[in-house]
């Protein structure tokens, strides 16, 4: 993933929020960080699933799983965001999303409720965000005592074969 | 009505509907290059099809519209409302004509000169001509015509700053239904109905799910043994299978359907271009998915047109180049693994690399330095770039740089690839590989590194459990894994197979070397014409699987042809043996295809040319490496000194119950060595009573490498064919024929080398051993050798009109023997007068007589290389008396 692609891409989440519409987000945690993805882009939430390893695939790809007869490519969000892997045996949940007719499961530590934070609490990425996060972060919400990172699913799925 | 016309009408109406929408979109977003390309291609397609259906009115109109669009695409003209209106007016006029065509089956009379003049004016960017407000078409109260009217307003500058976009928007909606209706009821009133592909697609998905659920149920039932379920389950199973088959059938069509238009196209091109062209089609019954078929139809047409226009030369040029006046375009389709391969080849002049390079530079696709670093093949690939066209003039046939770009886009859209080979003066071949993404196949489930994988049953030849040579409990003749300099090979009966370990290949870690079981599970897989052993940890059952494409992010892993869900609900990857072979460098697919009788001629003619051959490297009598094609070596053995006897002064050893003569390459056996390394050459065909072997004693085995075998220096030493560069070193290629003669016949007369003639010789022999032996021996003597394994294959050549100067044929062959073959050759066709030399192991006078009666020119015993060369020389020098007509 090069920075050029990053610049070329429009920022889908930010303008919508600027327009004053509050956005509903599915909240999830990755390595204790609260994150959110737009609820409309989520197809399914799954508990721990058997995942088949795919040899030779990029490291971010955890494997594939079966969702009611459809094959879903599982992406390890911890790896994708450059966070150290979870301790072995920790159960993980998946957020399933669709892109270009293919299904992808984002493996996260925990999925919690859906919330609609006020648009006024939205902030653009602070420039000091580490690059590994900045690339996939479409902005931040200030919540009570916590910050929620809005994940840009399009960019998370824009894996190049070289990883 | 003509089938072609009906098809044209449906297709054109679809295109027109799409055009309306696209044109309006373009007006709104004039910078949208993709929409512009789409519009251009659609108009181009309409023009092209009209051209060959003989619809001059439509063609002229479309051509004029295309000119305008071409200028827009080149950036000469800006997109303006006026321009779009003019093009839309042309599209509407096309619709009117198409509708009339649908109603009456003929182009309505009429004149579009006004409209064409208008289009030309726009295209030349000059002021509007005095033409009357666009020959308003037909009595239909078409709203677009009204929009077209404002075009000729006397505005001198056709590029006004942002003319209001709003004006032309409403009409496509209005125009579409009027275009679509007449088509819906005109054609297709028979026993068929048009069903949307998406409906079939949905059905297919549902059936796939049903198959998986059925499999799951069957698996459950197996463990439950509940009799009450078994009967209905059985029925469910049958019905599911039938349903599956039925739905598959609705989607499958022979590729011949897509080719049906081509003969006529080629005939018309023959007239238009003044060339003589023959179209050869093979594998027309190869079935493929309807959707895939639709998508490759246009590309195929484009490519055939390109071959005819650019590839093939004019008759006079062909004659001057020593080729037959009749150019040939070859289409070939076949299944390979989970793919369909379609080849489009011609025997024309090949692609002009220099011109393409110059053009790429001129178009700014690459810099001089970049081009200098590119291989010819990379440069050739520029023809797939949008906006590239090598034809100096734009003709009605092809050459606007739209063709190859469309071809590539369409092929890649269905997950396929396109390859291109070209040889100057010999022609070019495009190879399209399309995955069979929707097939349900039977697959073998295996395990490696704790993961399960599916291997399509169609490529599995057999399953073998093989020990290693360290295992003493092995029976003689059992399959065994041996090492050639740390590279494992499988010795299976009379063959050596390359081995790959799935664990290593897929970097799974762990694996086969479990202490308890030293035996390997090996899946012997067919890769083209060669075999490959895949070492796995375990082998399970076979299962019916639905091949699903892998996610785009993993498409680059060529080892997988797809993935699937098993009966137990788990996801597994489907292995592609072809991909594995390629990844490991075993058996390039080019080699395997060359062996296929259906392959195109350019490839066939090069069967001893530049393909990669696996070579066994060894040392014997000197430090220089020597090499022999691995395919010729039956086995590698180590023979203990005490097992070697010399009853008649010549060393022999007891080998598999027979005496095997041993020949030392270095001249004499070094009897001080405790063990001798021996290459065993065998030629056994039990059915025909052939069974001999000999051992060639060498000093040391070095390696097995895959390289092209092109002999560069003629032989200096007896017993070698010459020198070739293999693995970067000058290597002697040994002449197995010579050494076999040493073993079976203790004399050898060195003969003067025959003058290199370049004559084309066809070798017909069912024994791969002899083919491999003869081909290098004859090439070294300067002949151009093509070897085939059966009379049928040889006759296929004759049907294609491939010419040779002489034929060498075996007598004893399965199916059609040499005598029947020669009778067929003599009976008719271009080969009737060729010298045909019989090769035989047995030469009894009666047999020779029978052979001469059947039509053989001469009779030569196998192994007698010099006699063969002499005979060939004589036959070619003095034509047979029947050959007066040649």
pLDDT digits (tens, 9 = 90+) for B612-662: 567 788 888 777 788 887 767 777 777 887 788 877 777 888 776 677 888
Phi/psi at B312 (5° precision): -80, 145
The CA radius of gyration of chain A, in Å to the nearest whole number, is 15
Rounding to the nearest 10 degrees, give the CA dihedral for residues B734, B738, B742, B745.
Answer: 160
- Show which of B380, B404, B435 is a domain's final residue: B435
Measured CA to CA, the distance from residue A51 to residue A48 in angstroms comes to 9
Say which of B449, B554, B564 has its CB closest to residue A57: B554
Which residue, among A58, A64, A96, A163, would best test binding to B if mutated, counting the most B CBs under 10 Å from its CB?
A64
**B753 domain-assigned:** no
Say which of B209, B552, B571 has its CB closest to residue A64: B571
CB B644 within 8 Å of CB B636: no
CATH of the domain at B202: 1.10.287
Domain residues for B55?
A: 3-185
> What is the model's pLDDT at position B862?
67
**B755 domain-assigned:** no
> What is the model's pLDDT at position B41?
84
Measured CA to CA, the distance from residue B845 to residue B103 in angstroms comes to 75
Q: How confident is the model at residue B750 (pLDDT cuts 50, 70, 90)?
A: very low
Long-range contacts made by residues B142-146, C-beta under 8 angstroms, separation at least 24? B142/B92, B142/B96, B142/B175, B142/B178, B143/B170, B143/B171, B143/B174, B143/B175, B144/B88, B144/B89, B144/B91, B144/B92, B144/B168, B144/B171, B144/B174, B144/B175, B145/B89, B145/B92
Percent of chain B with pLDDT over 90: 3
Residue range B183-197, pLDDT digits in tens: 334 444 456 777 777
3-class SS at B858?
strand
Strands (E), B258-388: 277-282, 287-289, 327-336, 339-346
Q: Pick the most confident of B162-166, B209-213, B777-781.
A: B209-213
**Poorest-confidence range of A39-53, B295-309, B425-439, B533-547?**
B425-439
Residue range B846-859, pLDDT digits in tens: 777 777 788 888 87
**Poorest-confidence range of A8-17, A34-43, B334-343?**
A8-17
Higher pLDDT, B359 or B177: B359
Q: How confident is the model at residue B444 (pLDDT cuts 50, 70, 90)?
A: very high
3-class SS at A133?
helix
B595 and B615 fall within a common domain: no
Token pair listed for B592: 């395997």
Rounding to the nearest 10 degrees, give the CA dihedral for residues B151, B157, B160, B163.
Answer: -10
> What is the model's pLDDT at position B472?
57
**Interchain CB distance below 8 Å, A52 and B572:** yes
B769 and B865 fall within a common domain: yes
**B749 domain-assigned:** no
CB B68 within 8 Å of CB B87: yes
Report the gap between the CA of A60 and the closest CA in chain B (Å): 11
For chain A, which domains are there? Answer: 3-157 (2.40.50.180)
> What is the model's pLDDT at position B439?
54
Report the gap between the CA of B216 and the closest CA in chain A (Å): 12
3-class SS at B465?
strand
pTM of the model: 0.42
**Interchain CB distance below 8 Å, B571 and A56:** no
B551 and B423 fall within a common domain: no
B474 and B512 fall within a common domain: yes
> What is the model's pLDDT at position B435?
65
Residues whose CB is less than 8 angstroms from the CB of residue B162 and which lie 6 or more positions away in sequence, other chains included: none
CB B808 within 8 Å of CB B837: yes
B26 and B170 fall within a common domain: yes
Residue range B17-63, pLDDT digits in tens: 778 777 777 877 777 778 888 888 888 888 878 877 778 888 888 88
Residue range B318-344, pLDDT digits in tens: 888 888 888 889 999 988 766 788 999
B675-685 and B652-655 strand pairing: unpaired
A58 touches chain B (CB under 8 A): yes
> What is the model's pLDDT at position B638?
78
> What is the model's pLDDT at position A73?
93
B395 and B272 fall within a common domain: yes
Instruction: Report the residue of chain B nearest A163, measured CA to CA.
Output: B553
Q: How confident is the model at residue A151 (pLDDT cuts 50, 70, 90)?
A: very high
Token pair listed for B72: 């827009």
Q: How confident is the model at residue B389 (pLDDT cuts 50, 70, 90)?
A: low
Percent of chain A with pLDDT over 70: 85
> What is the model's pLDDT at position B325?
85
Measured CA to CA, the distance from residue B381 to residue A80 in angstroms comes to 35
Question: Across chain B, what does the average pLDDT equal?
Answer: 73
- Continuous segment of H or E residues that includes residue B694: strand B690-698
Contacts of A163 in chain B (CB under 8 A): none
Q: Residue B455 above 60 pLDDT?
A: yes
Measured CA to CA, the distance from residue B500 to residue B578 in angstroms comes to 12
Residues in chain A, overall count = 163
**B495 domain-assigned:** yes
Measured CA to CA, the distance from residue B78 to residue B103 in angstroms comes to 38
B176 and B210 fall within a common domain: no
**3-state SS track over B516-582:** CCCCEEEEEEEECCEEEEEEECEEEEEEEEECECCCHHHCCCCCEEEEEECCCCCEEEEECHHHHHH
> What is the model's pLDDT at position B712?
59
| Cα separation values, B815 from B714, B766, B792, B810, Å | 38, 10, 9, 13
**B192 domain-assigned:** no
The CA radius of gyration of chain B, in Å to the nearest whole number, is 33
CB A61 within 8 Å of CB A78: no
The mean pLDDT of B859-867, rounded to a whole number, is 70
Q: How confident is the model at residue B454 (pLDDT cuts 50, 70, 90)?
A: very high
Class of residue B728 by CB neighbours under 10 A (exposed 0-12, middle 13-18, buried 19+): exposed
Token pair listed for B570: 């788990």
Q: Residue B512 above 60 pLDDT?
A: no
**B530 domain-assigned:** yes
- Sheet strand arrangement including A110-115: A110-115, A25-30, A33-38, A147-151, A137-142, A122-123
Report the gap between the CA of B397 and the closest CA in chain A (Å): 36
Phi/psi at B613 (5° precision): -125, 140
The mean pLDDT of B281-307, rounded to a whole number, is 81
- ipTM of the complex, rounded to two decimals: 0.80
Measured from the Cβ of residue B517, the count of other Cβ atoms closer than 10 Å reads 12
CATH of the domain at B637: 2.40.50.180
Contacts of A80 in chain B (CB under 8 A): none
Say which of B209, B449, B565 has its CB closest to residue A71: B565
CB A21 within 8 Å of CB A119: yes
**Interchain CB distance below 8 Å, B208 and A53:** no
Higher pLDDT, B593 or A55: A55
B701 and B781 fall within a common domain: no
Q: Helix %, strand %, coil % for chain B, to 5?
A: 40, 25, 35
| Cα separation values, B691 from B399, B647, B680, B775, B801, Å | 59, 22, 13, 21, 36
**Total number of domains constituting chain B:** 6
Higher pLDDT, B810 or B523: B523
**Interchain CB distance below 8 Å, A71 and B508:** no
> What is the model's pLDDT at position B749?
31
Q: Helix %, strand %, coil % for chain A, to 5?
A: 20, 40, 40
Which residue in B48, B142, B149, B128 sits closest to B93, CA to CA? B142
Report the gap between the CA of A38 and the closest CA in chain B (Å): 23
**Interchain CB distance below 8 Å, A55 and B548:** no
Write the DSSP symbol of residue A52.
B
Write the DSSP symbol of residue B406.
H
A15 touches chain B (CB under 8 A): no
Find the chain B residues whose C-beta atoms sit closer than 8 A to any C-beta of A. 208-209, 212, 449, 451, 506-508, 548, 551-557, 559-560, 563-565, 569-573
Q: How confident is the model at residue B878 (pLDDT cuts 50, 70, 90)?
A: low
**B698 domain-assigned:** yes
CATH of the domain at B482: 2.30.30.40
> What is the model's pLDDT at position B592?
34
Which residue in A135, A133, A128 sits closest to A4, CA to CA? A135
B527 and B541 fall within a common domain: yes
Beta bridge partners of B574: B454, B562
Q: Pick the most confident of A32-46, B52-66, B379-393, B700-714.
A: A32-46
B148 and B219 fall within a common domain: no
Which residue in B780, B760, B779, B745 sits closest to B862, CA to CA? B745
**Interchain CB distance below 8 Å, B569 and A100:** no
Q: Residue B516 above 70 pLDDT?
A: no
**Poorest-confidence range of A20-24, B445-449, B595-599?**
B595-599
CB A85 within 8 Å of CB A78: yes
Residues whose CB is less than 8 angstroms from the CB of residue B198 and which lie 6 or more positions away in sequence, other chains included: none
> What is the model's pLDDT at position B415?
60
**B691 domain-assigned:** yes
Residue range B550-606, pLDDT digits in tens: 888 887 888 888 888 887 778 999 998 878 887 776 643 333 333 333 333 333 333
CB A139 within 8 Å of CB A14: yes
Token pair listed for B79: 């997109």
The mean pLDDT of B511-535, rounded to a whole number, is 71
B495-501 and B530-536 strand pairing: parallel
Write the DSSP symbol of residue B660.
E
Residues in chain B, overall count = 886
> What is the model's pLDDT at position B169?
38
> What is the model's pLDDT at position B144?
39
A161 touches chain B (CB under 8 A): yes
Q: Which residue has the tokens 């327009």?
A: A19
- Show which of B744, B779, B801 is a domain's final residue: B744
Contacts of A52 in chain B (CB under 8 A): 451, 570-573
- Show which of B400, B435, B470 is a domain's final residue: B435
Longest Cα–Cα distance of chain B, Å, equals 110
Measured CA to CA, the distance from residue B344 to residue B334 in angstroms comes to 12
Measured CA to CA, the distance from residue B578 to residue B140 in angstroms comes to 58
Residue range A56-111, pLDDT digits in tens: 888 889 999 988 778 899 999 999 888 888 887 788 899 999 988 889 999 999 99
Show the CA angle centred on residue B398, arms to residues B26 and B428, nearest 5°.
125
A76 touches chain B (CB under 8 A): no
The mean pLDDT of B80-94, rounded to a whole number, is 82
Q: How confident is the model at residue A27 (pLDDT cuts 50, 70, 90)?
A: very high
CATH of the domain at B303: 3.30.565.10
The DSSP line for B657-687 is TEEEEEEETTSS--TTSSEEEEEEEEEEEGG
CATH of the domain at B821: 3.40.50.2300
On the CB side of B32, CA atoms within 13 Å amount to 15
Which residue in B530, B638, B629 sits closest to B588, CA to CA? B530
> What is the model's pLDDT at position A38?
93
Report the gap between the CA of B570 and the closest CA in chain A (Å): 6
Sign, CA dihedral B683-B685-B688-B694, equals positive
A99 touches chain B (CB under 8 A): no
Contacts of B553 in chain A (CB under 8 A): 57-58, 61, 73, 159-161
B635 and B770 fall within a common domain: no
Report the gap between the CA of A143 and the closest CA in chain B (Å): 35
Residue range B256-280, pLDDT digits in tens: 878 877 877 787 788 778 888 888 8
The DSSP line for B617-648 is EEE-SSSSEEEEEGGG--EEEEEEGGGEE-TT
Residue range B756-769, pLDDT digits in tens: 456 788 888 877 66
Higher pLDDT, B98 or A108: A108
B584 and B611 fall within a common domain: no
Write the DSSP symbol of residue A85.
P
């Amino acid at each position: 993933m090069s920075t050029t692609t990053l610049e070329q891409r429009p920022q889908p989440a930010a303008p919508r929020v600027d327009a004053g519409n509050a956005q509903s987000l599915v909240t999830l945690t990755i390595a204790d960080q609260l994150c959110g993805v737009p609820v409309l882009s989520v197809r399914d939430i799954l508990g721990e699933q058997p995942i088949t390893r795919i040899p030779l695939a990029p490291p971010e790809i955890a494997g594939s799983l079966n969702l009611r007869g459809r094959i879903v490519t599982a992406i390890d969000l911890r790896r994708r965001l450059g966070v150290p892997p979870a301790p072995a045996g920790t159960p993980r949940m998946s957020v399933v999303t669709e892109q270009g007719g293919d299904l992808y499961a984002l493996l996260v530590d925990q999925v919690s409720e859906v919330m609609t934070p006020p648009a006024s609490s939205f902030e653009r990425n602070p420039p000091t965000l580490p690059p590994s996060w900045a690339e996939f972060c479409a902005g931040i919400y200030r919540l009570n005592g916590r910050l929620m990172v809005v994940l840009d699913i399009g960019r998370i799925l824009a894996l190049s074969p070289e990883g | 009505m003509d089938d072609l016309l009906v098809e044209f009408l449906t297709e054109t109406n679809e295109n027109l509907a799409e055009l309306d929408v696209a044109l309006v979109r373009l007006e709104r977003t004039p910078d949208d290059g993709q929409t512009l390309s789409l519009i251009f291609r659609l108009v181009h397609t309409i023009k092209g099809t009209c051209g060959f259906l003989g619809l001059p009115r439509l063609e002229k109109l479309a051509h004029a519209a295309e000119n305008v669009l071409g200028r827009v695409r080149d950036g000469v003209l800006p997109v303006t409302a006026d321009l779009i209106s003019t093009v839309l007016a042309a599209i509407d006029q096309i619709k009117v004509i198409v509708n009339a065509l649908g109603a009456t089956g003929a182009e309505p009379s009429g004149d579009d000169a006004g409209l064409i003049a208008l289009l030309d004016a726009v295209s030349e960017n000059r002021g509007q001509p005095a033409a009357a407000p666009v020959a308003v078409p037909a009595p239909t109260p078409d709203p677009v015509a009204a929009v077209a009217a404002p075009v000729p307003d006397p505005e001198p500058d056709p590029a006004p700053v942002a003319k209001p976009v709003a004006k032309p928007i409403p009409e496509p909606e209005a125009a579409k239904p009027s275009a679509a209706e007449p088509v819906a009821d005109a054609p297709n009133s028979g026993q068929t109905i048009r069903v949307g592909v998406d409906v079939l697609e949905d059905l297919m998905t549902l059936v796939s799910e049903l198959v998986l659920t059925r499999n799951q149920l069957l698996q459950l039932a197996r463990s439950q043994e509940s009799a009450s379920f078994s009967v209905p389950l059985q029925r469910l199973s049958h019905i599911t299978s039938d349903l599956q088959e039925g739905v598959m059938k609705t989607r499958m069509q022979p590729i011949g359907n897509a080719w049906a238009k081509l003969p006529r196209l080629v005939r018309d091109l023959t007239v238009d271009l003044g060339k003589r062209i023959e179209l050869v089609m093979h594998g027309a019954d190869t079935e493929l998915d309807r959707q895939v078929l639709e998508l490759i139809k246009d590309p195929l047409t484009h490519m055939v047109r390109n071959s005819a226009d650019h590839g093939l030369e004019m008759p006079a040029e062909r004659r001057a180049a020593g080729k037959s006046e009749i150019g040939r375009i070859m289409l070939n389709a076949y299944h390979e693994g989970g793919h369909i391969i379609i080849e489009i080849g011609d025997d024309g002049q090949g692609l002009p690399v220099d011109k393409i390079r110059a053009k790429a530079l001129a178009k700014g696709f690459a810099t001089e330095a970049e081009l200098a670093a590119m291989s010819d093949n990379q440069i050739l690939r520029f023809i797939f770039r949008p906006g590239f066209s090598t034809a100096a003039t734009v003709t009605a046939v092809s050459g606007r740089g739209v063709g190859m770009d469309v071809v590539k886009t369409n092929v890649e859209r269905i997950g396929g690839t396109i390859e291109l080979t070209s040889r100057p003066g010999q022609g070019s071949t495009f190879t399209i590989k399309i995955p069979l993404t929707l097939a349900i196949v039977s697959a073998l489930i295996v395990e490696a590194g704790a993961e399960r994988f599916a291997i399509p049953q169609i490529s599995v030849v057999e399953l073998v459990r093989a020990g290693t040579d360290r295992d003493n409990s092995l029976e003689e003749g059992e399959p065994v894994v041996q090492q050639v300099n740390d590279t494992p090979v499988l010795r299976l009966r009379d063959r050596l197979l390359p081995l790959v370990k799935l664990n290593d290949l897929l970097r799974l870690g762990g694996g086969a070397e479990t202490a308890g079981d030293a035996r390997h599970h090996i899946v012997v897989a067919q890769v083209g014409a060669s075999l490959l052993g895949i070492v796995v940890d375990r082998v399970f059952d076979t299962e019916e699987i639905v091949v699903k494409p892998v996610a785009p992010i993993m498409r680059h892993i060529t080892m997988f042809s797809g993935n699937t869900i098993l009966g137990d609900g788990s996801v597994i990857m489907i292995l592609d043996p072809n991909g594995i072979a390629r990844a490991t460098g075993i058996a390039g697919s080019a080699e395997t295809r060359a062996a296929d009788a259906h392959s195109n001629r350019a490839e066939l003619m090069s069967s001893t040319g530049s393909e990669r051959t696996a070579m066994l490297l060894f040392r014997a009598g000197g430090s220089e490496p020597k090499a022999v094609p691995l395919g010729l070596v039956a086995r590698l053995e180590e023979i203990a000194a005490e097992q070697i006897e010399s009853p008649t002064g010549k060393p022999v050893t007891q080998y598999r119950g027979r005496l095997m003569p041993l020949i030392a390459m270095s001249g004499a056996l070094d009897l001080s060595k405790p063990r001798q390394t021996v290459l065993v050459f065998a030629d056994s065909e039990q059915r025909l009573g052939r069974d001999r072997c000999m051992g060639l004693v060498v000093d040391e085995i070095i390696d097995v490498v895959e390289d092209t075998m092109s002999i560069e220096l003629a032989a200096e030493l007896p017993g070698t064919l010459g020198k070739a560069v293999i693995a970067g070193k000058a290597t002697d290629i040994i002449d197995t024929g010579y050494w076999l003669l040493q073993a079976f016949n203790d004399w050898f007369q060195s003969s003067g080398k025959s003058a290199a003639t370049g004559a084309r010789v066809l070798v017909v022999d069912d024994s791969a051993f002899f083919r491999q032996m003869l081909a290098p021996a004859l090439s070294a003597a300067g002949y151009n050798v093509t070897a085939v394994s059966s009379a049928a294959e040889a006759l296929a050549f004759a049907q294609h009109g491939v010419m040779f100067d002489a034929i060498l044929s075996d007598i004893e062959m399965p199916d059609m023997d040499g005598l029947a073959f020669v009778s067929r050759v003599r009976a008719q066709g271009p080969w009737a007068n060729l010298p045909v030399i019989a090769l035989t192991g047995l030469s009894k006078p009666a047999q020779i007589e029978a052979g001469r009666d059947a039509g053989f020119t001469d009779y030569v015993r196998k192994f007698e290389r010099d006699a063969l060369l002499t005979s060939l020389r004589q036959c070619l020098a003095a034509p047979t008396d029947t050959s007066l007509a040649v």
